[in-house]
């Protein structure tokens, strides 16, 4: 006969499985690889965002990537192409990577939310920020990507990704560029989303914002070009911040 304790545990488990995050987690294959994850995410319906989007836009990059960049969500171009960071913000990121000597082959790019959230404005698809429950619903996919990749550095691009991975109290404006203790990777940090640089009001401030973005990327380049692949630090899951 089941005790009251075990019944409440079962009820809790049921609630968890029926939650949006539980629904996404239930789709994660038992022995995940990036290819298997991307394929499983195609059929995700754990939150309403799939309804308006063209397709799931999963992360992309080398399975041996040392750095994972996490943005907010795919944009209009990404939604059509089915690939992350191929639009204007992706071009800003590429420019920054070139400036600090990080190769694309060292990088994996993904988003906190895998479907494009938008609302119609005339005949345009206007980007709409995903809400907390949509971000929470999608989080199992991001955690699964990080678990497979085991990168040296995770870089959150913008507040949505930073708060999803580092907590709601994290403020990109105040804490950008800082290395944060996290079980996700040896080095976890955040900077602005490249799209915010494009939204700067004039050329002077855009130039200043790009300069600061490149400074943040320089810290990351310094880390990954000093930590050899397969080093003990990379395998150690109790990450501290004794670097830099
Ligand atoms: S946004 Fe994420 S959780 Fe929501 S349907 Fe798409 S893949 Fe699933």
- The residues pairing with 154 across neighbouring beta strands, listed in sequence order, are 68, 188
Q: What is the 55 CA–ligand 1 centroid distance (Å)? A: 10
For residues 213 and 191, the answer to whether their CB atoms sit within 8 Å is yes
Ligand 1, atom 4: closest residue by C-alpha: 47
Quote the ligand 1 centre to 110 CA distance (angstroms). Answer: 13
Average pLDDT for residues 55-59, to the nearest whole number? Answer: 98
The C-alpha atoms of residue 240 and residue 102 are separated, in whole angstroms, by 23
Q: State in Å: Cα 160 to ligand 1 middle.
A: 15
Distance 45 CA to ligand 1 centre (A): 6
Q: Is the pLDDT of residue 24 over 90?
A: yes
Q: Strand ranges (DSSP E) for 2-152? A: 60-61, 67-71, 107-111, 118-121, 124-127
On the question of pLDDT at 217 being above 70, the answer is yes
C-alpha atoms less than 13 angstroms from C-alpha of 83 in its C-beta half-sphere: 10
- Of the pLDDT bands very low, low, confident and very high (cuts 50, 70, 90), residue 7 is low
pLDDT in tens, 139-183: 999 999 999 999 999 999 999 999 999 999 999 999 999 999 999
Q: Is the C-alpha dihedral spanning 142, 147, 148, 154 positive or negative? A: positive
* 209-236: average pLDDT: 78
Confidence of residue 95 (pLDDT cuts 50, 70, 90): very high
The better pLDDT of the pair 59, 239 is held by 59
Is the pLDDT at 236 greater than 60? The verdict is no
Q: Whose alpha carbon is nearest atom 3 of ligand 1?
A: 138
User: Residue range 214-237: average pLDDT?
Assistant: 72
Separation of CA 56 and ligand 1 centre (Å) = 8
Going by CA atoms, what residue is nearest to atom 6 of ligand 1? 115
Report the nearest atom of ligand 1 relative to the CA of 44: 8
State the average pLDDT over residues 236-244. Answer: 41
DSSP letter at 9 equals H
Q: Which of 27, 45, 50 to mutate to test the pocket of ligand 1 (most atoms within 8 A of CB)?
A: 50
CA of residue 164 to ligand 1 center, whole Å: 14
| Ligand 1 centroid, distance to 113 Cα (angstroms) | 6
Residue 8 confidence class, pLDDT cut points 50, 70, 90: low
Residues 71-83 have a mean pLDDT of 97
Entry pTM: 0.88
d(CA 241, CA 187): 7
pLDDT band at 47 (very low <50, low <70, confident <90, very high): very high
| Domain annotation for the chain: domains and CATH numbers | 20-226 (3.40.470.10)
Q: Give me the pLDDT at residue 10, please.
A: 59
CA dihedral 202, 204, 210, 214 (to 10 degrees): -170
pLDDT at 234: 41
Write the pLDDT tens digit of every residue in 223-234: 999 855 444 344
For residue 74, pLDDT beyond 50: yes
Q: Ligand 1: residues whose CB is within 6 Å?
A: 24, 41, 44-47, 49-50, 56, 113-115, 134, 137-138, 141
Q: How confident is the model at residue 5 (pLDDT cuts 50, 70, 90)?
A: low
């Amino acid at each position: 006969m089941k005790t009251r304790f075990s019944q409440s545990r079962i009820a809790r488990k049921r609630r968890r499985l029926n939650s949006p995050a539980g629904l996404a987690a239930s789709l994660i294959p038992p022995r995940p690889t990036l290819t298997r994850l991307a394929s499983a995410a195609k059929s995700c319906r754990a939150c309403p965002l799939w309804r308006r989007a063209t397709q799931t836009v999963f992360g992309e990059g080398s399975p041996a990537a040392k750095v994972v960049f996490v943005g907010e969500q795919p944009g209009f171009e990404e939604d059509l192409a089915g690939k992350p960071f191929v639009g204007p913000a992706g071009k800003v990121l590429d420019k920054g990577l070139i400036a600090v000597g990080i190769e694309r082959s060292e990088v994996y790019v993904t988003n906190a939310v895998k479907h494009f959230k938008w609302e119609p404005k005339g005949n345009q698809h206007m980007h709409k920020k995903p809400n907390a429950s949509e971000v929470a619903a999608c989080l199992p996919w991001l955690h699964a990507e990080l678990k497979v990749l085991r990168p040296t550095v995770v870089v959150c691009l913008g507040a949505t990704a930073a708060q999803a991975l580092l907590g709601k109290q994290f403020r990109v404006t105040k804490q950008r560029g800082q290395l944060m203790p996290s079980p996700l990777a040896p080095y976890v940090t955040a900077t602005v989303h490249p799209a915010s640089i494009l939204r700067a009001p004039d050329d002077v401030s855009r130039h200043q914002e790009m300069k600061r973005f490149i400074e943040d990327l320089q810290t990351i380049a310094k880390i990954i070009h000093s930590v050899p692949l397969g080093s003990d630090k990379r395998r150690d899951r109790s990450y501290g911040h004794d670097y830099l």
